[in-house]
């Protein structure tokens, strides 16, 4: 659970939504629809039957014609958090969870309706629809009950998610997909999701410290790789990691999807807010 001090810092932020929200209930997001909110939007000519209280009398005096004032209608947005809960996320689960809680808090305090999915091979776990600041505690309880386990394919797990409503979608995953994350993002865009990708990686994954003959055992698939870890091998790994991150970043960039890398070597509290701002999440 995030600290109160950190949460208070989040209170000054609001999730960025490029498109106009089209929710059903009233919220704090701008909707494409015009309504009766206090924020002026535009004029149009009076049509018999319109509400005469909205007639702009100044415009009548100026132009000797009847015009109606139009106002922005504020509505809530749907925010979905897809949290990869496969076994590979175990080492960085705390980091991923913090990222999920941060996005969730921003959604809840922004008046959005939130739903969190923990994606697992043995079936995705879905939170109830949450809204409002008080729902943060329920979110934390839901996340407490989620444990990463099993072998998972993100693309398949995302496709098993039902009832995706148009809105914001945060994908929190290490993105270890052979085919890359592009297909998943395309699918989510098809489902009318405005995506953002948060990729947490542990300190070991960012900078492995290995020496000698080592048998690496995949915590998710059980596959083993035996290596003689020397400087050349570590160097090759780092190059592969850079290439992988560039590919993931590139997939997101091509789809105009904000992307953020969470480095497990760094302090989450100090890192996350600048990253959120820098990568246009808020």
Binding residues for other proteins, per CB under 8 A? 87-92, 151, 153, 174, 176-178, 202, 204-205, 210, 212-230, 232-233, 236-237, 239-241, 244
> Nearest approach, Cβ of 88 to other proteins (angstroms)?
4
User: Cα dihedral sign for 204, 206, 212, 216?
Assistant: positive
Using only the alpha carbons of the chain, give its radius of gyration: 23
CB 172 within 8 A of CB 83: yes
> Nearest approach, Cβ of 87 to other proteins (angstroms)?
8
- Cα–Cα distance measured from residue 60 to residue 8, given in angstroms and rounded to the nearest whole number: 48
Between the alpha carbon of residue 105 and those of residues 1, 8, 22, 154, 191, the distances in Å are 11, 10, 21, 24, 23
> Nearest approach, Cβ of 226 to other proteins (angstroms)?
5
> Nearest approach, Cβ of 121 to other proteins (angstroms)?
11
Nearest CA-CA partner of 19 in 280, 197, 193, 171: 193
Question: Left (φ > 0), alpha (ψ -120 to 50) or beta: where does 139 sit?
Answer: alpha
> Nearest approach, Cβ of 156 to other proteins (angstroms)?
11
CB 194 within 8 A of CB 19: yes
Q: Which is nearer to other proteins, 11 or 122 (CB)?
A: 122
Q: Which is nearer to other proteins, 36 or 240 (CB)?
A: 240
Q: Which is nearer to other proteins, 2 or 181 (CB)?
A: 181
Q: Which is nearer to other proteins, 74 or 174 (CB)?
A: 174
> Nearest approach, Cβ of 273 to other proteins (angstroms)?
26
> Nearest approach, Cβ of 82 to other proteins (angstroms)?
17
- List Cβ neighbours of 19 (8 Å cut-off, separation of 6 or more): 194
Q: Which is nearer to other proteins, 61 or 225 (CB)?
A: 225
Q: Which is nearer to other proteins, 7 or 241 (CB)?
A: 241
Q: Which burial class, exposed, middle or buried, applies to 217 when counting CB atoms under 10 A from its CB (0-12, 13-18, 19+)? A: exposed
Q: Which is nearer to other proteins, 19 or 264 (CB)?
A: 264
SS3 at position 31: strand
> Nearest approach, Cβ of 122 to other proteins (angstroms)?
16
CB 143 within 8 A of CB 94: no
Q: Which is nearer to other proteins, 144 or 236 (CB)?
A: 236
- Cα–Cα distance measured from residue 256 to residue 18, given in angstroms and rounded to the nearest whole number: 11
């Amino acid at each position: 659970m995030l600290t109160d001090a950190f949460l208070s810092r989040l209170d000054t932020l609001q999730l960025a939504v490029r498109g106009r929200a089209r929710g059903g209930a009233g919220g704090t997001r701008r909707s494409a629809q015009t309504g009766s909110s206090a924020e002026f939007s535009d004029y149009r000519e009076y049509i018999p039957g319109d509400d005469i209280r909205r007639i702009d009398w100044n415009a009548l005096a100026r132009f000797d014609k009847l015009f109606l004032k139009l106002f922005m209608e504020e509505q809530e947005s749907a925010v979905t958090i897809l949290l990869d809960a496969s076994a590979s996320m175990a080492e960085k689960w705390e980091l991923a969870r913090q990222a999920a809680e941060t996005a969730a808090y921003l959604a809840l305090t922004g008046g959005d309706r939130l739903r969190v999915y923990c994606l697992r091979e043995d079936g995705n776990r879905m939170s109830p629809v949450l809204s409002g600041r008080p729902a943060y505690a329920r979110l934390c309880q839901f996340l407490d009950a989620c444990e990463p386990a099993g072998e998972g394919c993100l693309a398949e797990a995302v496709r098993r998610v039902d009832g995706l409503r148009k809105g914001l979608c945060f994908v929190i995953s290490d993105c270890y997909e052979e085919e890359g994350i592009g297909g998943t993002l395309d699918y989510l865009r098809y489902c009318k999701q405005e995506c953002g990708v948060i990729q947490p990686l542990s300190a070991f994954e960012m900078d492995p410290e290995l020496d000698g003959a080592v048998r690496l055992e995949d915590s998710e698939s059980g596959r083993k790789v035996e290596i003689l870890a020397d400087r050349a091998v570590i160097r090759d790994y780092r190059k592969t990691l850079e290439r992988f991150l560039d590919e993931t970043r590139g997939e997101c960039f091509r789809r105009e999807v904000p992307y953020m890398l969470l480095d497990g070597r760094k302090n989450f509290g100090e890192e996350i807010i600048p990253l959120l701002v820098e990568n246009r999440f808020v």
